[in-house]
Amino acid sequence: MLDERDRKILDALQHDAAIQVSELADLVSLSPSACSRRIQRLEEAGYIARRVAILDRDRVGVPTTVFALVKTSHHSEDWTEAFRRAISDIPEVVEAHRLTGSYDYLLKIAVPRVEQYDVVYRRLVRRIELFDVSAFISMETLKAGEAVPVNYAE
Provide the CATH number for the domain around residue 9: 1.10.10.10
Same domain, 11 and 68: no
Q: What is the mean pLDDT of residues 100-122?
A: 98
Residue 33 lies inside a defined structural domain of this protein:
yes
Asked whether residue 126 carries a pLDDT value surpassing 90, the answer given is yes
- Domain count along the chain: 2
pLDDT tens sequence across 39-71: 999 999 999 999 999 999 999 999 999 999 999
Mean pLDDT for the stretch of residues 93-103:
97
Neighbours of 66 (CB within 10 A): 21
64, containing H or E segment: strand 64-71
In this structure, are 8 and 70 located in the same domain? Answer: no
Say how far apart CA 13 and CA 29 lie, in whole Å: 15
In a domain, 30, yes or no: yes
pLDDT at 81: 97
Cα dihedral value 108, 111, 114, 115, nearest 10: -120
Looking at the structure, tell me whether residues 85 and 34 fall in a common domain.
no
**pLDDT over 90 at 146, yes or no:** no
Q: How many CB atoms lie within 10 A of CB 148?
A: 10
